[in-house]
Every structure is written in structure tokens, then in C-alpha cells.
Chains A and B, each alone.
Chain A
Amino acid sequence: PDPNISPLPPGSHILFAQSGRIEYIPLEGHNLKKNEAKTALHLPEKVVIGIAFDCMEKMVYWTDISTPAISRASLRGGEPVHIITSDLSSPEGIAIDHVGRNVFWTDSMKDRIEVASLDGSQRLVLINTDLVNPRAILTDPTNGYIYWADWNRDAPKIEMAYMDGTNRRILVKDDLSLPNGLTYDPQTSLLCWADAGTHKVECMNPQQGSRRQLMEGIQYPFGLTTDGKSLYYTDWTRRAVVVVDRHARQEVDEFQPQKQTRLYGITTAHAHCPSGQNYCSSN
């Protein structure tokens, strides 16, 4: 049979984590080439939650709650390497600043947000107050921001701060329930989230604050990513990757892996890095 483990071919891909492996689906334009979906990495003993992609070195980074660890591997073929193994409890969300060459993550048991260089050195706690169940995190390298969501049942919220943890502020706290997934499109400056409690996908411009609903009645979203045109979310109930067209505001495709189990983090592996610079790239 097909070995089903292979280095990523050229082009852009959707990567997602499912029970001990990281899968990829090639993108052709904005369409999923579902019949070319394959396993990029087998990590049979691990529980991979969050994944992120470094467009510069073509490396995938992930959080693993079973070790627990933060690890990376080259998608051109390469061994997984732990970059952080100490002082972690439940590392979940992960994001890369490809410009500043840093990795950010949330830990829902330590209740903090941390940063380190991509090799795991220079580790620093950025935020350790007013966090209960921090999960999704993402970066806006051009403007030097991080965004994250906390699904605290008593007071869920979406927040932002500078990449050094300063200038923290709450973006959304009303009409939120379980904002598991979060994504940002640098082209349109739109921050979108998928909520497993309100069963909605909503977006806003973080600078202008205008909020609008994209989808309602969705089932159980966990991870969320975008390629600029479509949104892709993993769904625990449907055990699938669901594709939503942002302009048509409707579901346009679905990918259901052969293996029937929950899907976790999802990210877009762009063939090329978006251009841009930030303070951290020179300091």
C-alpha cells in the first residue's frame, strides 16, 4: 500500500493535526486537492494540539500535551526535534513570527503565554495574569502584535498585545462562549474566530472594531486558519476540515480523513512568506 508519509511537495498546503499525526492537503489556487492529502509526519505516541508553520525554513512547529513538548520538523523531510520540554503543562495554541524568528504559545494549565526563539532558546513568559483557558494564538508580524483567545467559561475573551506582552487589551468579550479557533488575514486586516459555544464564525478589524458574523449553526470548531479567500476549520463533531468562503459566507467544501477521530490545530503553509519587517527582526 501507499506509504502515505511524504515530504511536502512545492506549493501551498493546509496542515492539520489529528491524533498523533500531522496531515497536509495541497491547495490548488484556493481549492483543496483532497485526493492528494497525505500524512506529513507520523507522531504515533503524541497528542498534537496546535500547529504552526514557518514559511522561511519550511518547518512545522507543534504543541504536544502528552510529552508535553513543543517540537518542530522540516517538511522537506527531517526528524522531529523537541525545542521546549521543561516547565510545560498543557501547551495548546502555537504561532510563529517568521520575521522576528520567534515562537509563541499558550499553556492552559500554567495559564500563561510564552515566547522563545525558534530553537527554544531565549524563553520568556509574556503574560501570566488574567488567563484561565488560553488556547488559540496568532501573530501579526508586520504590526508586531499577538492575538489570543481564552475560552474561560465564566468570561471568554479575545485579546491582543505587542509581541513583548505590553499594551495588552481586550478586543472581544461579549457574545462569546468557546472561541477555540482564531485566524488573521494580513491582506484585509481581518481577525476571525470560530466559537464552539455560539456555533458561529465571526470576524472583526482589530483596529476599527467593526464585528460581523460570517457563519452560524456550525457544529464544534476547534482550529481555524485562512488562505486569504477561504476559512478552514477543524470540527470535533464532524471530524472533518470544513471550508467556508469568506465572501459568499457559506460552506463550500469539506475534507473528512479516513481516520474517524477528532481533528485539532490547523494552519496554512504558504509557499512564500508575506513580505514585511518588524522591530524584532532587527532587535
Chain B
Amino acid sequence: DSTVGSSSDCKLCPCPAGATCAVVPRTKEVVCTNCPTGTTGKRCELCDDGFFGDPLGENGRVRTCRACSCNNNIDPNAVGNCNRETGECLKCIYNTAGVFCDRCKEGFYGDARAANVSDKCKACSCSPYGTVDKKTTCSQVTGQCQCLPHVINRDCSACEPGFYNLQSGKGCERCNCNSIGSTN
């Protein structure tokens, strides 16, 4: 405040080089007003939306702000794609999940990091008849659903040869065909 009249009225801005600062009139709080590109916050300690890091090293070593890193599984038109400090991805798309959108979300399987969207995460689509407890989740990597006894296929949609009655929901039953009257 340069109007008080003492030689120490003006103080150096507590901001990184190049930034200006201002005193908020009501609270007398000092805030930086022109933080370096990509940074924001009272002391330029935060990254802009869409970036993450710790530009002043407040929680460890200095990490300059860089763009959210989410395995190309975020939409550039979205806002708030990652946590501004940790970089944790908050808006994974293409049925991905995880801190860096690096795995498939529940009920999906495949390679979240695949280059093509069509190769990313596919729905488990487990057969409700052939799957234990009608679960809708599967192995995240292979996509194998957890099949009831004598049920086969990735999605538990068929009976083993020599078995029938998938629809029972209790696993498939042996055919019990008479070997004399059957073709094989």
C-alpha cells in the first residue's frame, strides 16, 4: 500500500519471476496476477486446467506443469481431465478406468492402451445363463467370464460337447444319450 507514507510501503511480489501481484482490497491478501504460462494460484503454485504438476515443489521436488497424461483416453473438449497436482485422470473415456485411464473399467476387457479405439476395451457381455452368479465382469485381459460347470466359451454362452440345458442357469447337464442309438 503506497499511500501509507513509509519507505517500506511497497513490498516485492511473492511470485515467480515475471508475475505481478495485487492486494485483494477486502481481505488484504496478496495474490499473483500474471503467473507464468500454464500456472495459476495465489502464488502460482497450481497448474492450469488440463495440466498437472507441482511448479513450486510444495509437496516434494519441482514438477513443471505438463498436459494430462491419460493414454489418449480423455476427450480434449472436456474440462477437468486430470487432478492438477497428481495428474490422476478424472474423465476416462472409451470404457477405460484407472489413475491414467490405463485399464478397462468393470465389465470390459482388452488393452486400454491400444492405439486404435476399436482395439481398446470391449464389453464382457457374459451370458447370464452360463456365468457364475450372473456376474457381468470378466478377466480384464482375456475377457474370460467365470463359467458355470460344463459351460464353455469366453462369454460362457455354450455347453461343452455332450452337455445341454445352458438355460437352466445352473451349468450344463450331461446329455445321457444311449450310445447304441446315437450317431457318435
**What is the interface of chain A, defined by CB distance below 8 A to chain B?**
1-5, 19-20, 39, 42, 44-45, 47, 49, 65-66, 77, 79, 90, 92, 108-109, 133, 151, 153, 178, 180, 196-197, 258-262, 264
Contact = CB atoms under 8 A, between A and B. Distances in A.
Nearest to A50: B79
A45 B33 contact: no
Interface in B95-130: none
Contacts of B33: 4, 39, 42
B77 to A, nearest CB: 5
Interface of B: 20, 22-26, 31-35, 37-38, 40-42, 46, 48-50, 75, 77-80, 84, 91
B181 to A, nearest CB: 55
Contacts of B23: 3
Contact of A180 (B31, B34, B41, B77): B77
Contact of B34 (A5, A178, A258): A258
Given A39-B33, A66-B84, A90 B79 contact: yes
Contacts of A5: 22, 24-25
Contacts of A3: 22-23, 25
Contacts of B35: 259
A124 B170 CA distance: 45
A262 B50 contact: yes
Contacts of B75: 133, 153
A262 B31 contact: no
A260 B50 CA distance: 14
Given A90-B91, A196-B77, A264-B79, 7 more contacts: A3-B22, A3-B23, A44-B40, A47-B80, A90-B80, A92-B79, A260-B37
B48 A151 contact: no
A45 B34 contact: no
B26 to A, nearest CB: 7
Nearest to A261: B48
B48 A44 contact: no
Contacts of A261: 37-38, 40, 48
A133 B76 CA distance: 13
B48 A19 contact: yes
A2 B21 CA distance: 9
Most chain A CB within a 10 A radius of its CB, from B34, B40, B50, B91: B40
